[in-house]
């Protein structure tokens, strides 16, 4: 118990770099210790909000498909930070797709049969790892500290990979209805030039993945998914939007319900920390055994100390679309924002704050907005909100109205008050991570483009509730916190009957092809976890509290449900691929499994995913 308590205190409150001197001594680093950049030294609401480039498809190379070639490379980019002493811009070395962070936006159209007005095409993408040194031959070293004590899966020969090679990537289309060989399985990683690949890598595909697009319009996204280093590869910059369109969305645009064109803007929100030279900062201290005072994280091959994974990572600087605390000048009209929480571990509770002055008083007010869509598509009806809660990987499609006369000339702050870890952790710093970006209502109204009207009903036919297949099992699964062999906190998925299970344990979830199953997920940890399932878009059925004091994972008879079942909030009542599983609650979700093959489900706190909180499931005949 002491070791668990000590490690929780050490990793969850130490911040990013407070033990940098210790790590330099323990790791015998020869380079000079870098100085963390003070986020308070950085300007806010000065950098214009970037708009990720929309990449154009090639329709000739693969007839019947839209084709893209996107290479993963290393480059320098100005993320908005400046030298505190001189005010001059600092460049940051990042990884990205097609030479940009975030990666370029892919806009595709659904191939569903009902899209008769503008039918879409499936997409093929050549994802190439070109993370070479300047000579174009030598693979790069990783930008960030790699913990080789983690179980990073096996190599092509089936042996423990020991997280080698250190620089390896694989791309997952998050939220996509994708065949297993193109899903971005975490053990389908490959290296620069495809010279090496994991046990699930298929060299015959030559790095070309196929995306069916046979689902409705939705704000999907793509990101790295290499096992054991996803947290590092995404933090380095490997993420981008994939916006899927369809006829239903087109009709709503034509009816003046959904803003479009310049008035539809994607927002990728991420937290980062930096050093004073502009480089990315990420925890690099080893794990010290509290009983002996010795470094416990030793590379299994070299025996040298290595940095340790941390339970969660929380950066002290907020970026949107790759810029720190940006600002967007808007017209007095409605805008559509496709909001994505792309952070490693940070949750966001977002509000649009503005100051109203009048009658001798100054009041902080919140601008109401409407949510029209969730992870997997449009809701049945627009939902009026004052606060938007997003866990890592969740998306929300919202419409914000800046046309009120009281807002003319005003600055509206998108603020955040989600504790870290969520929901019972430390409060955010209102001067830094409590602010995300700003909107200034300063642009004149373009009268050539009519403003949209308020969105209410979005679907002529509501989303049909899924019904479980007769005889299909209701799977009782569990989220737990255990300790690894070094005494570190290790979050796990598992079953209520077996308790927490490792990635290497036999697969326990094997839905039959075409079946619809209910998964009942019991969160026996003190944190909220964003549970993500590959392949499917699911529906949340309900949540229910249980007696956490008496429940013992591995002893399902100890599960005592409390109170009544709670239906999902209106903004959760659509298609989801990531859902917040709250502590002390059972969340039930239902999905249809219609493609064969091996997929994964996991917590989308990336530090958790990399430290065993991920399991396989296989759809079988």
Give 348-391 pLDDT, tens digit per residue.
Answer: 999 999 999 887 889 999 999 999 999 999 999 999 999 999 99
Among 302-306, 359-363, 556-560, where is mean pLDDT lowest? 359-363
CA distance 145 to 316: 18
Secondary structure of 400-448 in HEC code, one letter for each residue: EECCCHHHCCCEEEEEECCCECCCCCECCCCCCCCEEEEEEECCCCCCC
Mean pLDDT (the chain) is 94
Note if the pTM is more than 0.75. Answer: yes
Q: Assess contact for 121 and 245: CB atoms under 8 A.
A: no
Give me 503's structure tokens.
Answer: 């990635």
Count Cα neighbours of 444 within 13 Å in the Cβ-side half-sphere: 3
- The more confident residue out of 12 and 179 is 179
Residue 59 falls within a domain, yes or no?
A: yes
Which residue's entry shows tokens 């250190």?
166
Nearest CA to 371 out of 548, 568, 527 is that of: 568
What's the pLDDT score for residue 32?
A: 62
DSSP H or E run through 21: helix 20-26
Work out the angle at residue 499's Cα, subtended by the Cα atoms of residues 496 and 605, and round it to the nearest 5 degrees: 95
The pLDDT, as a whole number, for residue 156 is 84
Of all residues in the chain, what percent carry a pLDDT higher than 70?
95
Contact by Cβ (8 Å): 37, 92: no
Domain boundary, last residue among 191, 217, 247: 247
Domain membership flag for residue 353: no
Q: Please report whether residue 240 resides in a domain.
A: yes
Which tokens go with 424?
């019972």
High-pLDDT (> 90) share of the chain, %: 91
For 314-352, how does the pLDDT look when each residue is reduced to its tens digit (9 = 90+)? Answer: 999 999 999 999 999 999 999 999 999 999 999 999 999
- The span from the CA of 140 to the CA of 127, in Å, is 17
Report whether pLDDT(556) > 70: yes
First to last CA, the chain: 45
Indicate if the pLDDT at residue 121 is higher than 70. yes
pLDDT for 14: 37
Which helix (H) or strand (E) element contains residue 563? strand 561-566
Task: Render the burial of 458-470: b for 16+ CB within 10 Å, e for the rest.
Answer: beeeebeebebbe
Per-residue pLDDT at 15: 40
The CA dihedral of 340, 341, 344, 345, to the nearest 10 degrees, is: -160
pLDDT grade for 57, boundaries at 50, 70 and 90: very high
Structure tokens at 578: 């990531």
Rounded Cα distance between 346 and 235, Å, is 12
Q: Choose among 51, 46, 102: nearest CA to 335.
A: 51
| Mean pLDDT on 512-526 | 98
Whether residue 19 is predicted with pLDDT greater than 90 in this model: the reply is: no
Q: Per the structure, how many domains does the chain have? A: 2
Q: Which domain holds residue 556?
A: 474-619
pLDDT given at position 364: 94
Selection from 89, 95, 90 nearest residue 75 by Cα: 95
Residue 157: pLDDT band (50, 70, 90) is confident
Domain boundary among 199, 230, 247: 247
Residue 295 CA, chain-centre distance (Å), reads 31
pLDDT at residue 13 is higher than 60: no
Cα–Cα distance for residue pair 354/95, rounded to 1 Å:
36
Q: Looking at beta carbons, which pairs linking 468-472 to residues 24 or more positions away fall under 8 Å?
A: 468/516, 468/517, 468/518, 468/590, 469/512, 469/514, 469/515, 469/516, 469/517, 472/511, 472/512, 472/515, 472/516, 472/517, 472/518
CA distance linking residue 612 with residue 615, whole number of Å: 8
Structural domain includes residue 433: no
pLDDT the model gives residue 149 = 97
Contact assessment for residue 588 and residue 374, using Cβ atoms and an 8 Å cutoff: no
Single out the residue of 395, 297, 382 nearest to residue 340, CA to CA.
Answer: 395
Here the tokens at position 31 are 């380079």
SS3 210: strand
Do 216 and 248 meet the contact criterion of CB atoms below 8 Å apart? Answer: yes
Of 247, 264, 299, which residue constitutes the final position of a domain? Answer: 247
Residues pairing with 509 in the sheet: 617
Residue 395: inside a domain: no
Give pLDDT, residue 158: 86
Largest CA distance in the chain: 74
| 304/230 Cα distance (integer angstroms) | 23
Confidence band for 6, pLDDT divided at 50, 70 and 90 = very low
Condensed to tens digits (0 to 9), the pLDDT of residues 401-425 reads 999 999 999 999 999 999 999 999 9
CA dihedral 518, 524, 528, 534 (to 10 degrees): -40
CA 587-590-594 angle, to 5 degrees, is: 145
> What is the pLDDT at residue 274?
98
Q: Give 2's pLDDT tier (boundaries 50, 70, 90).
A: very low
Q: What is the pLDDT of residues 249-283, one digit of tens each?
A: 999 999 999 999 999 999 999 999 999 999 999 99
Q: Which residues pair with 317 in a beta bridge?
A: 272
C-alpha span between 101 and 115 (Å, rounded): 32
pLDDT recorded at residue 16:
37
| pLDDT tens digits, one per residue of 458-516 | 999 999 999 999 999 999 999 999 999 999 999 999 999 999 999 999 999 999 999 99
Tell me the DSSP string of 241-271. Answer: EEEEE-HHHHHHHHTT-S--GGGEEEEEEEE
Is the pLDDT reported for residue 578 higher than 60? yes
Q: Is residue 18 part of a domain?
A: no
- pLDDT at 589 (0 to 100): 98
d(Cα 16, Cα 446) in Å, to the nearest integer? 45
Query: pLDDT tens, 140-150?
Result: 999 999 999 99
Give a yes or no: residue 33 inside a domain: no
- CA dist 522 and 542 (Å) reads 12
Q: Nearest to residue 337, comparing CAs of 405, 246, 402, 272?
A: 402
Neighbour tally for 87: CB within 10 Å: 9
What CATH code is carried by the domain that includes residue 111? 2.60.40.420
Residue 85 within a domain: yes
**Surface-to-core class of residue 200, CB atoms within 10 Å of its CB (0-12 exposed, 13-18 middle, 19+ buried):** buried
Residues 6+ apart with CB under 8 A from 537: 175, 177, 215, 218, 375, 376, 377, 575, 576, 577, 591
């Amino acid at each position: 118990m002491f070791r668990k308590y000590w490690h929780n205190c050490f990793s969850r409150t130490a911040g990013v770099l407070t033990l940098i001197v210790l790590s330099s001594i323990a790791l015998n680093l020869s380079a000079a210790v870098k100085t963390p950049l003070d986020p308070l030294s950085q300007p806010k609401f000065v950098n214009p909000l970037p708009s990720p480039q929309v990449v154009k498809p090639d329709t000739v190379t693969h007839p019947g498909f839209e084709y893209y070639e996107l290479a993963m490379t290393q480059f320098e980019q100005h993320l908005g930070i400046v030298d505190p002493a001189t005010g001059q811009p600092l460049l940051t070395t990042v990884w990205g797709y097609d030479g940009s962070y975030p990666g370029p936006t892919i806009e595709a159209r659904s191939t569903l049969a009902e899209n008769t007005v503008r039918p879409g095409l499936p997409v093929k993408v050549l994802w190439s790892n070109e993370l070479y040194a300047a000579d174009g031959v030598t693979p790069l070293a990783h930008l960030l500290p790699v913990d080789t004590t983690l179980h990073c899966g096996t190599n092509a020969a089936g042996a423990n990979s020991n997280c080698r090679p250190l620089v390896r990537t694989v791309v997952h289309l998050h939220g996509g209805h994708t065949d297993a060989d193109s899903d971005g399985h975490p053990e389908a990683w490959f290296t620069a030039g495809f010279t090496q690949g994991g046990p699930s890598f298929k060299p015959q595909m030559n790095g070309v993945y196929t995306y069916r697009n046979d689902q409705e319009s939705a704000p999907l996204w793509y990101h790295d998914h290499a096992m054991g280093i996803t947290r590092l590869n995404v933090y380095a910059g490997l993420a981008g939007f994939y916006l899927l369109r369809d006829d239903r969305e087109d009709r709503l645009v034509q009816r003046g319900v959904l803003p479009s064109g310049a008035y539809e803007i994607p927002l990728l929100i991420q937290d980062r920390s930096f050093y004073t030279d502009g480089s990315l900062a990420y925890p690099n201290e080893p794990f010290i055994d509290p009983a002996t005072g010795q470094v416990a994280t030793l590379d299994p091959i070299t025996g040298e100390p290595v940095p340790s994974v941390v339970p969660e990572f929380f950066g002290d600087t907020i970026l949107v679309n790759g810029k720190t605390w940006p600002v967007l000048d808007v017209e007095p009209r409605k805008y559509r924002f496709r909001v994505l929480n792309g952070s490693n571990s940070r949750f966001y509770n977002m509000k649009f704050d503005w100051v109203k002055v009048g009658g001798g008083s100054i009041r902080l007010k919140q601008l109401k907005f409407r949510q029209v869509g969730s992870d997997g598509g449009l809701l049945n009806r627009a939902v009026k909100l004052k606060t938007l809660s997003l866990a890592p990987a969740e998306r929300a499609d919202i419409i914000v109205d800046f046309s009120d006369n009281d807002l003319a000339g005003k600055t509206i702050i998108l603020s955040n008050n989600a504790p870290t870890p969520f929901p019972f952790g430390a409060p955010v710093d209102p001067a830094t991570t409590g602010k995300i970006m700003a909107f200034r209502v300063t642009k004149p109204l373009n009268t050539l483009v009519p403003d949209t009207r308020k969105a209410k009903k979005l679907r002529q036919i509501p989303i049909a509730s899924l019904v479980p297949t007769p005889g299909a099992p209701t799977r009782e699964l569990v989220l737990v916190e255990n300790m690894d062999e070094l005494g570190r906190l290790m979050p796990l998925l598992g079953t209520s009957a077996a308790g927490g299970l490792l990635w290497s344990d036999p697969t326990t979830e094997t839905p039959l092809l075409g079946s619809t199953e209910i998964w009942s997920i019991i969160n026996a940890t003190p944190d909220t976890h964003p549970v993500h399932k590959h392949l499917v878009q699911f529906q949340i059925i309900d949540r229910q509290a249980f007696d956490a004091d008496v429940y013992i994972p591995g002893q399902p008879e100890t599960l005592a449900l409390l109170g009544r079942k709670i239906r999902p909030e209106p903004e959760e009542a659509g298609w989801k691929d990531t859902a917040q599983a709250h502590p002390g609650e059972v969340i039930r979700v239902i999905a249809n499994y219609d493609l064969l093959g091996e997929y994964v489900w996991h917590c989308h706190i990336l530090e958790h995913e990399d430290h065993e909180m991920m399991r396989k499931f296989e759809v079988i005949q």
